[in-house]
Chain A
Amino acid sequence: MKVLVTVKRVIDYNVKVRVKADNSGVDLNNVKMAMNPFCEIAVEEAIRLKEAGVATEVVAVSLGPKACQEQLRTALALGADRAIHVETEQELESLNVAKLLAKIVEIEQPGMVILGKQSIDTDNNQTGQMLAALTGMPQGTFASKIVINDDKALVTREVDGGLQTIELNMPIIATTDLRLNEPRYASLPNIMKAKRKPLAVKTVEELGVTLKEHSKIVSVNAPAERQAGIKVADVAELVDKLKNEAKVI
């Protein structure tokens, strides 16, 4: 079985996000970028499937500017066999990403696609589900366990209040939650080997996908700062504030 795994280049989770002065977005100039942590889990899962003999080939895919190849190299160093980079300078909305991925799925015909459940930049949590809808493959989202049995997959999902296990007909789309696995680190020998693994570059035009604009960012603002604290007179006032002002209880 071939496993396709997606990899997104995002701001490193350690970096303190700064909103641009003109409120057009977040300042990404010269900030440290890294593989989206949920994608790391996706890559790890794919590699484990290969190590377990379930998967025969792991193909990593990323969409975006040339710099995404850094993250693809990381995926290759972690153990992916080859990589596909859809190079575009355009900002891609989730639906457009899903359409491009659907095209790659059509070409590659994987038995399974694993995506991170969300990226830590836009926090959308939707590409995997959209890809499932577009390809007609069933989805196991927010997965904390994936077991493949021939033509069926058992996916345990992290849902509000507990865990849900569903059975899906292969091929499937899975999106990863934090507890699915603990991603490994790339070893030095594998970093070196990754430089020799194939990385194919494709364009949006080649894939024949028309990108549409579905939404636009009007502005991006910093969240309101913590307001100067107030003193409350008694417990009744405190409970009232927590319920009705802060809305945390």
Chain B
Amino acid sequence: MSILVIAEHDNDTLKSATLNTVTAALQIGGDVAVLVAGSGCQSVAEQAAKISGISKVLVADNPAYEKFLAENMMPLIVELSAGKTHLLAPATTSGKNIMPGVAALLDVAQISEIISVESADTFQRPIYAGNAIATVQSLDAIKVLTVRTTGFDETAVAGSAEIEAVATVCDSGKSRFVTEEVVASERPELTSAKVIISGGRGMGNGENFSLLEAVADKLGAAVGASRAAVDAGFVSNDMQVGQTGKIVAPELYIAVGISGAIQHLAGMKDSKVIVAINKDEDAPIFSIADYGLVADLFEVVPQLAEQL
């Protein structure tokens, strides 16, 4: 088997999503090469060469690839697919933009957002917003895959693969980059945050919420509160998570000093991972928490901020 992984980068730094994707490629097995297509991206190629387990880094360094426009990337990857059995890209907006078209040009299917490799031709992927997991077998000679990075660990970076330049230049002339805006990294909104840390009546007062903010800063998390904390006047009610507040479902929800009233649980029970920190070990919140820590929050929350 011969696999090509399309690297995710910004012409400067290799993105970690590439490392998860290489892991998926190595699980499939066989020869794994990485393509770094970009502009002025030599340093990325050098970073990619250090990925453990890969045989080669292909570098297509040309202004045409600077912004990874699909119209230019697709023919390049199609050309490099000769002799390959698998083409993998991380399921980032860039990977999702490019890979389906590559598959179409090769007259093969594209399998999106795989979360596990069952065999060289069989993969698992979530469907129906993760409410079901499909095991999909590819019948095509070339498997074109995008990889959900959370499904795979990052591969180690301790290798030294050779770097090989690719001369092909594809510039369709049909599309042109104009501008980009990078979102300023202030604290995220409750409803869209990937991580939320919320405080309850156990916080004691509003000032103590700064303990949570210290953790939130480390995690890029939003800060929420239970109704009890809002009613007690600790914080404003736009921070309230619960049936009558905001309904949230982040990847990680950390409930601090929250006992777990039904109204609160209704607002956050669909979170992927729930952590509860409470000194009352009978607090109902523990019944739905994946990880419970029975402790005094004033001791452990600062520790948490420190250790993250």
Contacts and interface: CB of A to CB of B under 8 A. Distances in A.
B132 A160 contact: no
A67 interface: no
Nearest to B274: A229
Contacts of A137: 174
A157 interface: yes
A137 B292 CA distance: 53
B97 to A, nearest CB: 5
B236 interface: no
B71 A139 contact: yes
Interface string A92-136: 011100100000000000000000000011111111111111100
Nearest to A227: B290
Nearest to B122: A218
A21 interface: no
B290 to A, nearest CB: 5
B128 A133 contact: no
Nearest to A219: B135
B172 A126 contact: no
Interface residues of A, number: 72
B211 interface: no
A246 B181 contact: no
Contacts of B295: 234
Interface in B134-178: 134-140, 150, 153, 172-178
Nearest to B71: A138
Nearest to A93: B109
A219 B195 CA distance: 32
B292 A126 contact: no
Contacts of B133: 220-223
A181 interface: no
Interface in B225-253: 251-252
A247 interface: yes
Interface of A: 11, 16-17, 19, 26, 93-95, 98, 120-134, 137-139, 141-142, 154, 157-169, 212-223, 226-227, 229-232, 234-236, 238-239, 241-242, 246-249
Given A229-B276, A229-B287, 17 more contacts: A95-B107, A125-B112, A130-B100, A132-B101, A134-B105, A138-B71, A139-B101, A214-B138, A214-B140, A215-B137, A217-B137, A219-B134, A230-B290, A239-B307, A239-B308, A246-B272, A249-B308
Interface of B: 67, 69-71, 74, 92-94, 96-105, 107-113, 122, 125-140, 150, 153, 172-183, 195, 219, 251-252, 272-276, 281, 286-295, 300, 303-304, 307-308
10 contacts: A125-B112, A129-B101, A130-B100, A217-B134, A217-B137, A218-B137, A221-B133, A229-B274, A229-B276, A238-B304
